[in-house]
């Protein structure tokens, strides 16, 4: 009987040590993961290096009453201009932070990134600063957010008045 009690005590001690040790390990992993989530856009997707054209989409009424369908109506600007691609690439060279949950901010638009006529990545953006000011991309089911640079913000402001309804012209699509 005494041997059974000793064995039960050892089992309880082993279970307790395993449970408390497991908790300590998981919290340190979380801290480690929380500090190592900053990556540049190029680290997240090396294909940004070969971007040769962009389609910049601006939602017509991103802050309107229809929160579910506001992305259905938009204007766009298609560009192969080297300067536009460079401004875009400078933005994605900045740091992005991994978030598992999407922020509760509406996007103002998105940018489809092309290489040799094929879309390979989408970058979402909002310039509603300071509360909803970001660029965001999705990779492996996670959201990666970055701060918008002044150059990128100014570039978007220059492009928006030149964007057109996609139904008005199909000739300008990247090939």
30-61 residue pLDDT tens: 333 444 579 999 999 999 999 999 999 999 98
CA-to-CA distance for 3 and 145, rounded, in angstroms? 59
In this prediction the pTM is: 0.73
What tokens appear for 107 in the block? 């996007």
CA-to-CA distance for 66 and 50, rounded, in angstroms? 37
Residue with tokens 């802050």: 63
11-27 residue pLDDT tens: 444 444 443 443 333 33
CA-to-CA distance for 103 and 116, rounded, in angstroms? 32
Alpha helical stretches, state H, 36-81: 41-44
């Amino acid at each position: 009987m005494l041997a059974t009690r000793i064995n039960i005590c050892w089992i309880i001690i082993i279970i307790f040590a395993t449970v408390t040790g497991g908790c300590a390990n998981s919290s340190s992993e979380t801290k480690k993961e929380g500090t190592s989530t900053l990556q540049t856009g190029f680290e997240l997707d090396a294909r940004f290096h070969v971007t040769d054209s962009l389609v910049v989409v601006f939602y017509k009424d991103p802050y309107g009453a229809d929160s579910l369908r506001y992305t259905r109506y938009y204007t766009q600007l298609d560009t192969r201009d080297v300067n536009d691609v460079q401004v875009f690439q400078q933005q994605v060279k900045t740091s992005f932070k991994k978030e598992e949950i999407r922020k509760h901010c509406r996007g103002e638009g998105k940018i489809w990134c092309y290489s040799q006529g094929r879309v390979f990545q989408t970058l979402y953006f909002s310039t509603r600063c300071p509360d909803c000011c970001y660029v965001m991309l999705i990779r492996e089911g996670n959201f990666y957010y970055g701060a918008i640079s002044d150059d990128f913000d100014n570039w978007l402001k220059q492009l928006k008045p030149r964007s057109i309804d996609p139904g008005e012209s199909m000739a300008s699509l990247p090939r």
